Structure 1
Amino acid sequence: MIRRLLGVALAGAIAVLACTAASATPDPDPAADQDSLRAQEYWLNDYGITDAWKVTKGKGVKIAIIDTGVGHAPELDPAVTDGTDVSGAGSSDGRTAVGAIDANHGSWVASLAAARDADEGEDMIGVAPEADLLSISIGFEGSSARVPFDEQIVNAMRWAVDHGAKVINLSFTTNTLDWDQSWDDAFLYAFNHDVVVVVAAGNRGSGTGIVGAPATIPGVLTVAGVDPSGKASVEASTQGITIGVAAPSEKLLGISADGEPVIWKGTSGAAPIVSGVVALVRAAHPELDADNVIERIIKTARPAKGMTHTPSPLYGYGLVDAEAAVSDKVARVSTNPMGDLKEWIRLYRRAPVEKAPTPTSKPVEVPPLPRADPVSTPASVLLPDRDRVLYGSLPLIAVTVPAILVGLGVTVAARRIRSARSSRTPRRKNL
């Protein structure tokens, strides 16, 4: 069983608690002033998002936010079209935050993916501002969740797929390479239904030394974090061979459940930026399956400064580029470039036992054996019984008696011969 040390992938202007999600407060920096929110979203221009909007803004694509719940802020309300709670502690629509400490986390994540501009260019706007959001509330350890965490993730993944999600965002890490076996079928369910699953890589600043599950699951698009200059973040990102692309994870803007803006950092924010880009690609290219959407994201990524090889343990295939992902020509693929979970299960889980083949002919009927002879009662070996007399004594007598008679006859005959010879021999007289 996985050791469930859950650490939500966020840090910085946030009170980070060991192995749990953390809360945030508005940054005291004057740049967080309400009147300049849009100006703070440097990633919109630096990562080709505003150019991609000339083609699409993600209309018709559903992004599932599996997190602590998406609040009712003005920028979020129009985006959320459906939701549920799988923790047993939230509201049925998934809009009530689960956990007192990390209550706003789901709202910050959702606002980066698809927040609506409520003030004509002044308020925060998400990467895919016309995409729809599904709010699925879960509870991390230390929250009031009544359902085991592994079970929550399974239920959340299936609900998202069944309600039309084409992108699933997971902004958390378990701080361990392995994952509960129940997740195998849940993630396969998403992949088999043509869903792109975007996962945060985790943060070194919150104790994540290496990429942990679900970022280690083959087939997911794992997102690392960089600072505003495009350099790998020291605190707000981790590293690993499963990273697909990198996106901003520092000086991020987020909208809390009550509409309050905050500045925060972490790959929890880098992931929904990429989820928004995935929604743009899916809206611009509805003919592409999930494998080819991921292929577009990684093949159009820009090399980060200092990258020596691709993929890189810090940047994956590079910095995500929304405009290139939407517009460039990319060759088609037939498999998921981030790995094959089904094949991994075949290799590393116990192989399923094949059912015995169904017989194609009728079985041969064998006649029953004759009834066995009754068992006789054991007798004393000193007393003769029927079998001993019949098969032992009588044959012995039959052989022995004639032999004795023959022997006697031979003896008598020999004596007669000797006697006859004696009578014929003349006696010698003494002279």
Structure 2
Amino acid sequence: MSAGLAATALAVTALGATAASAVPAPLAAAAEPGPLMNYVVNTKASPGHIRKVENAVKAAGGTVLVSYRQIGVVVAQSTNVDFKAALKSGRDGREVQSVGATRTAAVTDGTTAAAASTMSGPAAEREVVGAPVPDPRENEQWDLTQIKADQAHAITDGSRRVLVGINDSGVDDTHPDLAPNFDAANSVNCTANGVADRTEGAWRQTTSAHGTHVAGTVAAARNGVGIVGVAPGVRIASVKVVNDDGYIFPEYAICGFIWSAERHMDVTNHSYFIDPYMFWCKDNGDQGAVQEAVRRAAAYSTDRGVLAVAASGNSNYDLANKTVDNSSPNDSTPTPRTIDNNCLDMPTELPHVLTVASTDKGGAKSSFSNFGLNKIDVAAPGRAILSTVPGGEYRTMSGTSMASPHVAGVAALAKSAHPWWGPLQIEAALRKQADDTACPAVIDARCTGTVQNNAFFGEGNVDALDAVKRGY
């Protein structure tokens, strides 16, 4: 998608006293275009303010990719190296509250690009992939037993009224365990500059099995084939927010949140962090503007009745005591930097996003799982989880990416049993119902807090059985 260029100027120099003696000077050279970049522009959430910002984008040599009147965010694209300054220079530019580039390297969406040298999102979460299991069975799913999903299924498998969005790398809807529960009408691809693409099959996976694996944990059907999901009776939709190089840029995530809200989803799973920064800092520049735009999108989704569940991350990092970030930005050259708690791992640290840590089969914190007192909400199994992968196969993967969909599935069961609950009620219930889990018996100074709420397990291991009890 091409961006506009600044208008060419014509200079006239008077060499004599009469008009006849004036000759045109050489045409001023047009500014060389810079790299193609995407931006989020924040303004007030009203049609009038959005319209003025759209005009300012065009006047600054940019193209409007998509506008979200609901939250006052415009996603724009430009090759103007002075785009941010030019955007604010005109009368309409006064409506701009903040503007920030969504990445540090040039945009390649929609073009043939070399694979990124540093992968992120699901790829960066370094899942441990085991050998395919040709004919797995429910009794191999220790994780379901650990969260009491097997007992919950005696009460309900979940309702067809409930829709869970798999915000990930795409889903293989032809998989025999996923096809019965897949909702194509509510699926979308957000990886072309954050513009929703509803083309048939655009929401399928292309380079990653990650989303298909997540989908199986949430809602693999009870159909006598393969495995069973935590909520095998609910519907799932694919909201593709991970591109073929493994990146989840802010405009993709924003598209996913807004889509999920407008399609009236009940729960969404987010097993990723938003690139290119592991932590987006609340500054007056690019990162602060992006943090605000994503925050608005997530808040809008919550307000529209969607509970977002997210992986805490796989860096064994204390989210409650941030000091350094050595891995950002991951789309160009990472530069070590000092950070503090105003820098957020998004979306997992956003308000009312349920943050999930990973546990092993024995119940211990997984070695890779991020942690943090009052940062982790609940914990769930995340190591060596058996689930679906493209091509009708099954295999194990490990990561907080695998823990989060367990909680999304339990949330879907809770919504099924209590259809009148909104996202805040489900969030509160899952936290309250979680099984208290103490810090390790062998003293680990990182595990601060109490049995009821600590840095490793939050308020405890998620409990599917309690989630479906109507007496709650």
TM-score (norm 1): 0.65
In structure 1, the residue matched to 2:433 is 300
In structure 2, the residue matched to 1:68 is 169
- CA offset digits 1:174-219 (Å, max 9, x no partner): 3215453211221121111121110110102699996721111011
Larger proportion of helix:
1
1:188 partnered with 2:288: no
The one-letter code matched in structure 2 to 1:123 is: G
CA contact (8 A) 2:417 2:470 kept: no
The residue identity in structure 1 corresponding to 2:314 is N
CA distance in structure 1 between the partners assigned to 2:434 and 2:395 by the alignment: 28
Q: CA deviation at 1:254?
A: 2.0
Equivalent of 1:163, from 263, 276, 279? 263
Contact 2:436 2:453 in 1 (8 A): no
1:27 corresponds to which residue? 130
**In structure 2, which of residues 309, 321, 324 is the aligned counterpart of residue 198 of structure 1?**
309
Q: Is the 1:2–1:180 Cα contact (8 Å) retained in structure 2?
A: no
Q: Summarize the Cα distance change of 1:27–1:17 in structure 2 as closer, same or farther, 3 Å threshold.
A: farther
The answer to whether the 8 A contact 1:94-1:136 is kept is no
Give, in angstroms, the shift of residue 300 of structure 1. 0.8
Of 92, 96, 108, which aligns to 2:213? 108
Equivalenced residues, count: 310
Instruction: Please say if residues 245 and 317 of structure 1, whose CA atoms lie closer than 8 Å, have aligned partners that are also in contact.
Output: yes
Conserved 8 A contact 2:270-2:404: yes
CA gap of 1:19–1:26, structure 2 versus 1, over 3 A, is closer
Unaligned runs of 5+ in 2: 1-99, 105-116, 282-289, 323-343, 441-448
d(CA) in 2 for partners of 1:35, 1:152: 35
2:352 matches 1:219: yes
- Identity of matched residues, %: 26
Identify the residue that residue 51 of structure 1 maps to in structure 2.
151
Cα 1:96–1:25 change in 2 (3 A) is: farther
SS at 2:356 equivalent? strand
Which position in structure 2 is the counterpart of 1:133? 236
Give the distance between the partners of 1:25 and 1:314, measured in 2 at CA. Answer: 21
CA contact (8 A) 1:224 1:247 kept: yes
- Alpha-carbon displacement from aligned partner over 1:155-176 (angstroms, at most 9, x marks no partner): 1111112112000111101321
Contact 1:302/1:319 (<8 A) preserved? yes
After superposition, the Cα gap between the structure-2 partners of 1:96 and 1:281, relative to the gap in structure 1 and judged at 3 Å, is closer
Indicate if the aligned counterparts of 2:133 and 2:395 stay in contact, CA closer than 8 A. no
CA contact (8 A) 2:133 2:393 kept: no
Please tell me whether the aligned partners of residues 230 and 305 of structure 1 are also in contact (alpha carbons under 8 angstroms).
no
Distance of aligned partners of 1:163 and 1:36 in 2 relative to their CA distance in 1, 3 Å threshold: same
| Cα distance in structure 2, aligned partners of 1:200 and 1:240 | 16
Could you say what secondary structure the match of 1:223 adopts? strand
Shift of 1:25: 8.5
Give, as a single letter, the amino acid of the residue that structure 2 aligns with 1:201.
Answer: S
Aligned counterparts of 1:74 and 1:108: Cα–Cα separation in 2: 13
Distance in 1, Cα, partners of 2:402 & 2:154: 24
> Which residue type is aligned with residue 310 of structure 2?
V
Mapping for residues 347-366 of structure 1, pairs under 5 Å: none
Counterpart of 1:318 in structure 2 is: 460
SS in 1 for 2:380: strand
Report the equivalent of 2:140. 40
Q: Which residue of 2 aligns with 1:92?
A: 199
1:283 aligns with 2:416: yes
Structure 1 SS opposite 2:135 = helix
The question of whether the paired residues in 2 share the 8 Å contact of 1:98 and 1:138 is answered with: no
Q: C-alpha distance in 1, partners of 2:128/2:379?
A: 25
How far, CA to CA, are the matches of 2:204 and 2:375 in structure 1?
31
Point out the structure with max Rg over C-alpha. Answer: 1
1:344 is matched with none
Per-residue Cα deviation, 1:49-103 (whole angstroms, up to 9, x for no partner)? 1211222211120001111111121111121113111112977245554563xx2
> How far apart, in 1, do the equivalents of 2:350 and 2:153 lie?
31
Residues 2, 323 of structure 1: alpha-carbon distance in 2 compared, 3 angstrom cutoff: farther
Indicate how the Cα distance of structure 1 residues 223 and 20 shifts in structure 2: closer, same or farther if over 3 A, else same: closer
Which structure dedicates a bigger proportion of its chain to strand? 2
Q: Offset of 1:324 from its aligned partner?
A: 1.4
Report the CA distance shift for 1:106/1:276 in structure 2 as closer, same or farther (over 3 A): same
Residue 421 (structure 1) aligns with:
none
Q: Give the secondary structure class of the aligned counterpart of 2:429.
A: helix
Cα distance in 2 for partners of 1:263, 1:206 equals: 24
Change (3 A) 1:235 1:33: same
Please tell me the root mean square deviation across aligned C-alpha atoms, in Å: 3.0
CA distance in structure 2 between the aligned counterparts of 1:206 and 1:257, rounded to whole angstroms: 31
Within the candidate set 251, 261, 264, 1:151 is matched to 251
Task: Pick one of 245, 254, 257 that aligns with 2:390.
Answer: 257
